[in-house]
Structure 1
Amino acid sequence: MTHGTAARRFIRAQHYGVLSTISKKLDGYPFGSIVPYILDHEARPIILISTLAEHTKNIDSDHRASLLIHEPSSDVQASARLTLVGNASRLADQFMVKPRYLRYFPQAATYFDTHDFFFYRIEPVNIRFIAGIGNIHWIQAANYQVPQTRLAEHEADIIAHMNQDHVDNLRQYCLCYHSVEALDVAMLGIDYDGFDVRADELILRFEFDEPVSDASEARKALVVMAQKSRL
């Protein structure tokens, strides 16, 4: 596995980070804030932020930003963490990512009632990935991002099919791969590297053995996982 793939898999498994922007009010000082995020199909972070927030004002003034993602641990210095450095800007198409975002963060639906929340995307420039003590790497954006695939156009259909017809498989995935016995399960998203399932109150990440680029490859990978989970 390349360092870029390892970094991408790490960031996909988390859903909150520290957004650092360059303060407009305090003349260039760094400004940090907690934000939830999802990734688009090119593995670029998408955040939903309000025009009233300081970090939004900062980004609109200076696009340079970073997102720090940290693995929960009792020993924070020994656990994995990643800082994605890039340029943040408001998405021109605000409706494209909304359904995907709300599958992960349904509580955000009410934010759109105020008319001042917008999606921003962070375009990676460089990534600092600390996978553990002594396992430290700088990763260029080209070695982190994935090639364009056809999964984005088929994702909604794949999710609907899995959640309507293969709920038992989703429960088996949770039990086999995460030792989680869940009652309420639903696939949230599927991508080049794997997929996410809401299992009761948890969001569980599942990685494919090999990347998938379209609906046919995704189906084959899901069938293989279903067969393994029944052994």
Structure 2
Amino acid sequence: MSVEVAKHARELLLKEYRGALATHSKAMPGFPFGSVVPYCLDEQGRPLILISRIAQHTHNLRKDPKCSLMVGERGAEDVQAVGRLTYLANAEQLVEPVAIEAAAERYYRYFPESQSYHTAHDFDFWVLNPVRHRYIGGFGAIHWVDQVSLANPFAGKVEVRMVDHMNEDHANAIAHYVELAGLPSTEPAKLVGLDSEGMHLRIGQSLYWLGFPEPCNTSTQVREALVLLARASEWPKK
């Protein structure tokens, strides 16, 4: 049961790309401070955020790194009947040049508009190191989960190569994925990320994660899954 619950919690974290960050207020000690942040998952499956040095939540994290990220299913009419996740974490600013470079390369694919204000203003990358998770899958489906994160076996050059290849040579296949999954087709979709369990597409300003029929642990398996989906008449059931 715990493995299945962790999978559902992780899929929610993958499907969404913004959440409510709760920090300990520096200006009002004893009170929680909430703010909204976009995020993507890094190579270890941790939420990666880009925040301003002058933002209140950054001041709060520098004083106390304990925080939580609340993520819920977007567009839900009844928020209490759908999945939501409270991700308890210790925030850590990235300071090593190699780590910052890897974070920037990944984050810019997901949020290309962020590159301009990151370089023009004082923004830094932070990761949320997991401590524990509270996952609610609907009424009565309430769980504490210790392990949710899953490392991305393709993060880095392998992922970049696969993403670029799909965008440059297989735009028709990507459009077919959009149609199969019933995603908005108002603008052309771009592939921005791959992990062992699925792929991320960017359509306009929004991100969407589509799960593979089966987990993929090698680039060959990813290629086979993408070909299968490109030929499918409906999205395969897991």
TM-score w.r.t. length of structure 2:
0.89
| 1:79 counterpart letter in structure 2 | V
| CA distance in structure 1 between the partners assigned to 2:118 and 2:185 by the alignment | 34
Match of 2:213 in 1: 209
| Matched position secondary structure for 1:7 | helix
How many pairs align? 229
| Matched position secondary structure for 2:100 | coil
Q: Any gaps of 5 or more consecutive residues in structure 1?
A: none
Q: Tell me which moved more, 221-230 or 80-89.
A: 221-230
| Matched position secondary structure for 2:45 | coil
| CA distance in structure 1 between the partners assigned to 2:138 and 2:126 by the alignment | 30
Equivalent residues in 2 for 1:53-68 (5 A)?
Answer: 53-68=55-70
| 1:30 counterpart letter in structure 2 | P
Return closer, same or farther for 1:228/1:182 CA change in 2, 3 Å cut-off: farther
Which of 180, 183, 207 is the aligned partner of 1:176? Answer: 180
How far has the Cα of 1:164 moved from its partner? Answer: 0.6
Match of 2:162 in 1: 158
Q: Tell me which moved more, 17-26 or 172-181.
A: 172-181
1:100 and 2:102 correspond: no
How far has the Cα of 1:43 moved from its partner? Answer: 1.6
Match of 1:195 in 2: 199
Task: Tell me, yes or no, if the aligned pair for 1:87 and 1:123 is still in contact at 8 Å.
Answer: yes
| 1:71 counterpart letter in structure 2 | E
Percent identity, aligned pairs only, is: 35
Task: Tell me, yes or no, if the aligned pair for 1:186 and 1:199 is still in contact at 8 Å.
Answer: yes
Task: Tell me, yes or no, if the aligned pair for 1:155 and 1:190 is still in contact at 8 Å.
Answer: yes
Q: Any gaps of 5 or more consecutive residues in structure 2?
A: none
1:91 and 2:91 correspond: no
| CA distance in structure 1 between the partners assigned to 2:126 and 2:143 by the alignment | 26
TM-score w.r.t. length of structure 1:
0.92
| 2:211 counterpart letter in structure 1 | E
Q: Tell me which moved more, 90-99 or 43-52.
A: 90-99
| 1:20 counterpart letter in structure 2 | A
Return closer, same or farther for 1:65/1:201 CA change in 2, 3 Å cut-off: closer
| Matched position secondary structure for 1:96 | helix
Match of 2:84 in 1: 81
Task: Tell me, yes or no, if the aligned pair for 1:151 and 1:213 is still in contact at 8 Å.
Answer: no
RMSD: 1.9
| CA distance in structure 1 between the partners assigned to 2:183 and 2:27 by the alignment | 48
Which of 10, 13, 18 is the aligned partner of 2:12? Answer: 10
How far has the Cα of 1:38 moved from its partner? Answer: 0.6
Task: Tell me, yes or no, if the aligned pair for 1:174 and 1:204 is still in contact at 8 Å.
Answer: no
| 1:185 counterpart letter in structure 2 | A
How far has the Cα of 1:200 moved from its partner? Answer: 4.3
How far has the Cα of 1:113 moved from its partner? Answer: 3.2
Task: Tell me, yes or no, if the aligned pair for 1:172 and 1:229 is still in contact at 8 Å.
Answer: no
| 2:137 counterpart letter in structure 1 | A
How far has the Cα of 1:202 moved from its partner? Answer: 3.9
Task: Tell me, yes or no, if the aligned pair for 1:174 and 1:199 is still in contact at 8 Å.
Answer: no
| Matched position secondary structure for 2:113 | helix
| 1:96 counterpart letter in structure 2 | A
